[in-house]
Amino acid sequence: MSSQNLPVPDFARNMKLIGYSDQGGRPDGVQLMVNKGYAFTGHMFSKGFSVIDVRNPRDPKPVHYEPAPANTWNIHLQTHEDLLLVISARDMFASPEFQDEHHYYKGALGKKVGTADASPSVERDWTAGMAVYDIANPEEPRQIGFMPVEGGGVHRIWYVGGRWAYASVLLDGFTDYIFMTIDMADPTQPQEAGRYWLPGMNEAAGETPDWAPTRRNGLHHAIINGDTAYGAWRDAGLVMIDVADRASPKLITHRNWSPPFGGGTHNCLPLPERELLVVLDEAVLDNCEDGIKYIWMFDIREPSNPVSIAAFPTPAEADYATKGAHFGPHNIHENRPDGLVSSDTIFATYQNAGIRVFDIRNAYRPEEIAAFVPPAPNRLVDHRPNRPKVIQSCDIWVSAEGLIYCNDYNGGLFILEYQG
The pLDDT, as a whole number, for residue 27 is 98
The pLDDT, as a whole number, for residue 223 is 98
Q: Give, for 104, the enclosing helix (H) or strand (E).
A: helix 101-105
How far is the C-alpha of 124 from the C-alpha of 44, rounded, in Å? 20
Distances (CA, A) of 215 to 264, 295, 377: 9, 20, 31
pLDDT in tens, 249-287: 999 999 999 999 999 999 999 999 999 999 999 999 999
pTM for this predicted structure: 0.97
Using the predicted structure, report yes or no on whether residue 38 has a pLDDT greater than 60.
yes
pLDDT in tens, 322-373: 999 999 999 999 999 999 999 999 999 999 999 999 999 999 999 999 999 9
The pLDDT, as a whole number, for residue 180 is 98
Supply the DSSP string of 295-326, one letter for each residue: EEEEE-SSTTS-EEEEEPPPP-SS-GGGTSS-
Q: Give, for 251, the enclosing helix (H) or strand (E).
A: strand 250-255
Percent of the chain at pLDDT > 90 equals 95
Rg (CA), the chain: 20
How far is the C-alpha of 79 from the C-alpha of 77, rounded, in Å? 7
Mean predicted confidence (pLDDT) in 33-60: 97
Q: How sure is the predictor about 16, in pLDDT bands with cuts at 50, 70 and 90?
A: very high
For domain 3-418, the CATH class is mainly beta
pLDDT in tens, 94-128: 988 899 999 999 999 999 998 998 666 667 899 99
pLDDT in tens, 217-238: 999 999 999 999 999 999 999 9
Q: What is the mean pLDDT of the chain?
A: 96
Q: Left if phi > 0, otherwise alpha if psi is -120 to 50, otherwise beta: which for 141? A: beta
